[in-house]
Structure 1
Amino acid sequence: MKDILITASLVVYHNSKEDIKKVIDSFLGYGSTSILFIVDNSASDSLSALCSDSRVKYIFNNTNVGFGAAHNIAFNGAYQLESDYHILLNPDVYFDPSIIKDLIYKTESDASIGLLMPKIVYPNGDTQNLCKLIPSPKDLILRRFIPFKGIKKRLENRYELRFYCYNEEAEIPILSGCFMMIRTSVLKKVEGFDERFFMYLEDVDLCRRIGKISRLVYYPKVEIVHNYEKGSYKNKKLLSYHIKSAIKYFNKWGWAFDKERSRINKKTLLNLKRQK
């Protein structure tokens, strides 16, 4: 396989050095043709001590500009380097570096793929349900606050595609921003993240825009570990960010009426049920 330049971005905000080192080692373990942009929104640059490798480009913002805006800084670096693929990384993931080669092989074999996400598991090995339909207000708002467990479970089963085994490759409209490998040319074409989303829903919005020009594929033949904490379920400030982002998202894409959402979700459900 030809030499392929892989860039990645990691946005940090007062994360533990231990967690960040795991991410750095996972990505840089791929090899010499990898460049990692670490964009630090923290109040201090203490994490810069982990960035001695020449393949790490550390950018200190000295203020929290938001998740999407910080990643966009790294995206601009990827465009300048003319990388082939760019990986979005969360500070709470780690993986065997060899998976990157597998993901490259997959995307190189199919030019229609613009975004690829591997299987995501908890540290105990359980699969995380991060393949999703395009959300409606009931998926993001009613599901979060409804007190009726039966209704909530039905909504989750459909929205998070829990009837699907998660062991088969599939085209999925919404994949998680905790780990995405995207063709840099596609990322540039859609102009990265919409910076109106300070935190939450920016990955959903990005998936929708990428989905208009290429395929989004879930690829479970390789996996990563994600310490998924669902911060907005525990922290009122994070919950307020989530609610504000949901309002911005539906103002942009439509609340009750979203023909594109209905069409794509219907197609996705039919295709997945055929795979069962």
Structure 2
Amino acid sequence: MAQQRVLIILLNYRTPEMTLQSAEAALRELDDLPGELLIIDNGSGDSSYTQIRRAAEARGWLDGNKVRVIASPVNGGFGAGMNIGFKTGLADGSTPAFYFLLNSDAFVQGSTIRTLRDFLLERPGAGLAGSFVRGTDGAPHRTAFRFPSIAGEFEASVRTGLFTRLLKPWVVAMEMPQAEVQVDWTAGASLMIRREAVEAVGGFDETFFLYFEETDLCRRAARAGWRTHYVPASEVEHIGSASTGMKGWQRTPAYWFDSRLHYFIMTHGRAYAAAATLARMCGSLLYGLRRLIQNKPQADPPYFLRDLCRHSLRALLAPGRASPNETRLPSPLAKEQK
């Protein structure tokens, strides 16, 4: 039915071959599912757009507007790229009933897209639904989360079983749910969103370049009355950080700190943001002490605590100096995309 059509939005940033693999997996579902695939090259600045378009044309994907390939002239980040997809809509100019956000390094398995769409169709109050995600090695990735908080920041940085047990209600990464469950937020690697939920919140906040944008979207959706669910019956295989290189960070990039701070300020205010940062610092210091005494491994990228302190003090004490948008582009950060 037309009112049940899905627009799959697949964002590419300098991973054309991987994007084509992800698109191919998604298109297998569109054989018997009403919808379209929109591939957006997010300002790669290389030959990605040309490669993807030529490959899509050679495979006959562009026939009948089932697949479209467009390009953004700039890389405004993950949320900005997805907002382009929201605004573009379907090929006939209409608006889909659902948007399915898919990472270029995520590959749907089985009936993932239909499962998420049907889940939302059957639950009028549910606005967003995310998948069970596993790595290419079969290891599950945690994608069911609670909203960040002061207690959650401390627990995440102190990395101690005692505090994890004491602060369990605030631990951001939930234990892997075995069945469908309502969550605070879930990852955007495979995320189905009802059109009305997108309209209620106006899409992603483009102040976030990378990271925390899904967290913010789910929180604003919750405030507008839309629930977020984790649906393990839908599954994707995910490489993870293929474009950002997060796993090999030698230094945490400025945009991560920008996004984290923006989230806390917009959600709770500057005083709360300062307290959350202090909690993270205290947890990191305690873990650093454990490293000295117990020979614990390094958990954060080099200079993380120093960079956190410097960034937070500069942003909180001189809030008018620059916003995350102003410090973001142009810079080497534009080379990285989720």
> Which category describes the TM-score, using the shorter chain as reference length?
0.7 to 0.9
1:41-96 residue CA offsets vs partner (Å, 9 max, x unmatched): 20022333233212222221233122111111110122742211100111110023
Native 8 Å contact 2:52 2:69 kept in 1: no
- Corresponding residue for residue 254 of structure 1: 268
- Corresponding residue for residue 161 of structure 1: 174
Aligned to 1:210, the other structure's residue is in SS state helix
- Corresponding residue for residue 323 of structure 2: none
Write the letter of the residue equivalent to 1:98.
S
- Corresponding residue for residue 88 of structure 2: 77
Aligned to 1:247, the other structure's residue is in SS state helix
Q: 2:192 aligns with which of 181, 200, 211?
A: 181
Check 1:152–1:21 CA distance in 2 against 1; reply closer, same or farther (3 A cut).
Answer: farther
C-alpha separation in 2, matches of 1:228 and 1:248: 24
- Corresponding residue for residue 205 of structure 2: 194
C-alpha separation in 1, matches of 2:249 and 2:120: 38
Aligned to 1:24, the other structure's residue is in SS state helix
Q: Does 2:130 match 1:117?
A: yes
Aligned to 1:192, the other structure's residue is in SS state coil
Q: What is the deviation of 1:105?
A: 2.2
Q: 1:1-276 alignment to 2 at 5 Å?
A: 4-17=4-17, 19-31=18-30, 33-40=34-41, 41-44=43-46, 45=49, 46-52=51-57, 53-54=61-62, 55-78=66-89, 80-137=93-150, 139=152, 142=154, 146=158, 149-150=160-161, 158-162=171-175, 165-212=176-223, 213-229=225-241, 231-236=245-250, 239-254=253-268, 257=272
Aligned to 1:194, the other structure's residue is in SS state coil
C-alpha separation in 2, matches of 1:50 and 1:153: 48
- Count how many residue pairs are aligned between Structure 1 and Structure 2: 253
C-alpha separation in 1, matches of 2:125 and 2:202: 19
TM-score (norm 2): 0.67
1:90-138 residue CA offsets vs partner (Å, 9 max, x unmatched): 1110023522222222221111111111211122222211111100256
C-alpha separation in 2, matches of 1:85 and 1:152: 40
Check 1:122–1:51 CA distance in 2 against 1; reply closer, same or farther (3 A cut).
Answer: same
C-alpha separation in 2, matches of 1:137 and 1:231: 27
The gaps in structure 1 that reach 5 residues or longer are 259-276
**Cα RMSD for the two superposed structures:** 2.7
C-alpha separation in 2, matches of 1:152 and 1:92: 34
* The structure with more radius of gyration: 2
- Corresponding residue for residue 270 of structure 1: none
- Corresponding residue for residue 267 of structure 1: none
Native 8 Å contact 1:8 1:36 kept in 2: yes
Check 1:97–1:26 CA distance in 2 against 1; reply closer, same or farther (3 A cut).
Answer: farther
Q: What is the deviation of 1:253?
A: 0.7
Q: What is the deviation of 1:6?
A: 0.8
Query: Aligned residues: percent identity?
Result: 25
Check 1:12–1:160 CA distance in 2 against 1; reply closer, same or farther (3 A cut).
Answer: same
1:140-179 residue CA offsets vs partner (Å, 9 max, x unmatched): 5x56655x554786679922112xx421111101111111
Aligned to 1:51, the other structure's residue is in SS state helix
Native 8 Å contact 1:233 1:239 kept in 2: no
Q: What is the deviation of 1:2?
A: 7.3
- Corresponding residue for residue 268 of structure 1: none
Check 1:56–1:149 CA distance in 2 against 1; reply closer, same or farther (3 A cut).
Answer: same
1:3-31 residue CA offsets vs partner (Å, 9 max, x unmatched): 731101122111141x1122101222122
C-alpha separation in 2, matches of 1:181 and 1:135: 22
- Corresponding residue for residue 262 of structure 1: none
Aligned to 2:186, the other structure's residue is in SS state coil
Check 1:224–1:152 CA distance in 2 against 1; reply closer, same or farther (3 A cut).
Answer: farther
